[in-house]
Amino acid sequence: MARDRDLEAIAQAIVTPGKGILAADESMGTIKKRFDTINVESTEENRRSYRELLITTQDAEKHISGVILFDETARQKTAGGVPFVQVLADKGIIPGIKVDKGAKALPFAPGEKVTEGLDGLRERLEGYAGMGLRFAKWRAVIKIDVDNGLPSEYCLDANAHALARYAALSVEQGLVPIVEPEVLMNGPHTIDDCFVATEHTLQRVYEALHLHRVPLEQTLLKPNMVLSGDECPEQAGPKEVAEKTIACFKRTVPAAVPMAPSARRPAFDERAFRARLGDSAPLFDKVVRLFLDDCPGRMRAMRQAIDAGDGEALRAAHEGHASYLPPLPDDWEYKPWIKHKKRKWDRKLAKELHPDLECDPAEREKKSRVMQEITAAYARGDLHALLQLELEWARWNERRRGSSEPR
């Protein structure tokens, strides 16, 4: 009974209002694709330092309730030797783990997939619980193809069974299972087609969870929204999406189930990003490309325009996001803008870090070291090292300003 209450408390803590889940569970292949867009090699150390940058972010616990880790990440440590799982727990963030082995082709079902990973799962979950991980995640993918009758009953049953087996084993080993049956948005289907497929999927999943005797209060659901397919000529608006998504959940999701906040990366907000980093962001374009790697349509066009140095294409893509990007002036040109940003950063860098402008010998030595490290990081194209150096210098300046103020 005590463990039951603990799991229910963990599930409720993960869905704390105002907080969300950080998905840091990219597979080796996925993280390599993202690093390739910024010309950073996907080495174990680069992956480790990138994840360390995420989980050690100051005040992250104010906004993040849990972090989903990949097996490699769950076993890694900070540069100071502290396990990532311990870092998260010390900050009050609940550490979790992705345990599925990915979606593979479903036999005799062209175009459909089933998620694998049940073999040896009990032992893996036992090991993860011993490492201090407190929840798990398993994702199934469901494709809509109205012309070919997809999703099939066969596909729904296979994935619902796998999700239920995983959930039962997770609870048995003391981990809260996040159940994620994702109906994909890829295709020309309408929002009504998505409603039917999502409703049918969730019905099958909860039938399977009931048959496997999974206590729903100790689980979380991470659902998809009910949307028009990304190739549908008539896209449903936000109001219709919200109404149909809620209506679908009311029909299918038992009241005992806590709903998991979305672990997706949000749409990239350039204005907010600039406001936080200001002019001390020499890696702006590289970070943009990292964030936009998975974004659809116009946002991907922005990344391609930046890569090509095509000012007209960037302006066209930019205008598609005028709702949250600052407007461009009529006489704006791409190349002078890039040169202006670089020149502005170079002046700021020279002013703040040039050792010859520092009278204090200790500070001169520190600035010399930082300048050398920045130069070396630029030469390597090491995104992680540059970001860490910028953060280190910004925090040092903040502490120095604070110490100089009258108390």
Whether the predicted pLDDT of 259 surpasses 90: no
What is the predicted pLDDT for the residue at 334?
A: 44
- Give the single-character DSSP code of 95: E
**Helix, coil or strand: residue 203:** helix
Q: What does the pLDDT average to over 42-54?
A: 91
- CB contact at 8 A, 31 and 47: yes
- CB contact at 8 A, 176 and 135: yes
**Extents of the domains making up the chain:** 2-252, 270-404
Question: SS3 for 230-242, per residue?
Answer: CCCCCCCCHHHHH
Pairing mode of beta strands 20-24, 64-69? parallel
What strand order describes the sheet that includes 135-142? 20-24, 64-69, 94-98, 135-142, 176-183, 220-221
Pairing mode of beta strands 64-69, 103-105? unpaired
Q: What does the pLDDT average to over 117-137?
A: 98
Query: What is each CA distance from 119 to 60, 125, 162, in whole angstroms?
Result: 35, 11, 11
What is the predicted pLDDT for the residue at 293?
A: 39
Q: What does the pLDDT average to over 231-245?
A: 91
What is the predicted pLDDT for the residue at 372?
A: 77
What is the predicted pLDDT for the residue at 283?
A: 40
Q: How far apart are CA 334 and CA 314, in angstroms?
A: 8
Q: How far apart are CA 348 and CA 10, in angstroms?
A: 46
For 349-355, which contacts have Cβ atoms below 8 Å and span 24 or more sequence positions? Answer: 349/282, 349/374, 352/393, 352/397, 353/393
Which of 26, 52, 112, 180 is catalytic? The answer is 180
- CB contact at 8 A, 142 and 183: yes
| Between 297 and 171, residue with greater pLDDT | 171
Helix (H) or strand (E) holding 52: helix 44-55
Q: How far apart are CA 140 and CA 136, in angstroms?
A: 14
Whether the predicted pLDDT of 322 surpasses 60: no
The arrangement of secondary structure in 2-252, i.e. its CATH architecture, is Alpha-Beta Barrel (3.20)
Q: How far apart are CA 84 and CA 246, in angstroms?
A: 36
Amino acid at 42: S
- CB contact at 8 A, 156 and 201: yes
Q: How far apart are CA 223 and CA 180, in angstroms?
A: 6
The tokens describing 324, both together, are 């949250």
Angle CA 65–70–75, to nearest 5: 95
Work out the mean pLDDT of the chain and round it to a whole number.
79
Whether the predicted pLDDT of 193 surpasses 80: yes
Catalytic residue flag (residue 207)? no
Residue 54 CB coordination number (10 Å): 14
Pairing mode of beta strands 113-115, 103-105? antiparallel
Angle CA 283–287–289, to nearest 5: 120
Catalytic residue flag (residue 77)? no
Whether the predicted pLDDT of 82 surpasses 50: yes
Which of 113, 143, 222, 244 is catalytic? The answer is 222
pTM equals 0.66
**Helix, coil or strand: residue 138:** strand
